[in-house]
Amino acid sequence: MIVRMWHGEVPASKADAYRNFLNARAIPDYRSVEGNISVHILERSAGAVTHFITLTFWKDFESIKAFAGQAVEAAKYYPEDRDFLIEFEPNVIHYEVVGHS
């Protein structure tokens, strides 16, 4: 199993709206791809900025390619992200899950 981790920052004033967007648009998109096991959105407030981490769990890299394309290390963004994100980090990080219960 592979975890795909993405990080983004939004102004704190837009955190509620971005959270709603992620739940309404991004999570269903991830879940629609065969091989996606689960999606977890983490949120942390840090003053004027709110950090979001998206952890998606996948069966294998072929499943990730079905979602993200051949350049699996490249972050995938939605057009709506322009309304929220402070910057666009170019890459995601993948981890192999080596233990769980």
66-98 pLDDT, tens digit per residue, is 999 999 999 999 999 999 999 999 999 999 999
Q: Tell me the pLDDT band of 53, cut-offs 50, 70 and 90.
A: very high
**Selection from 70, 79, 74 nearest residue 89 by Cα:** 74
pLDDT for position 100: 86
3-state helix, strand, coil in the chain (%, to 5): 35, 35, 30
Give the whole-angstrom CA distance, residue 92 versus residue 94. Answer: 7
Q: Are 96 and 13 in contact (CB under 8 A)?
A: no
Q: Where in the chain are the domains?
A: 2-96
2-96: which CATH architecture? 2-Layer Sandwich (3.30)
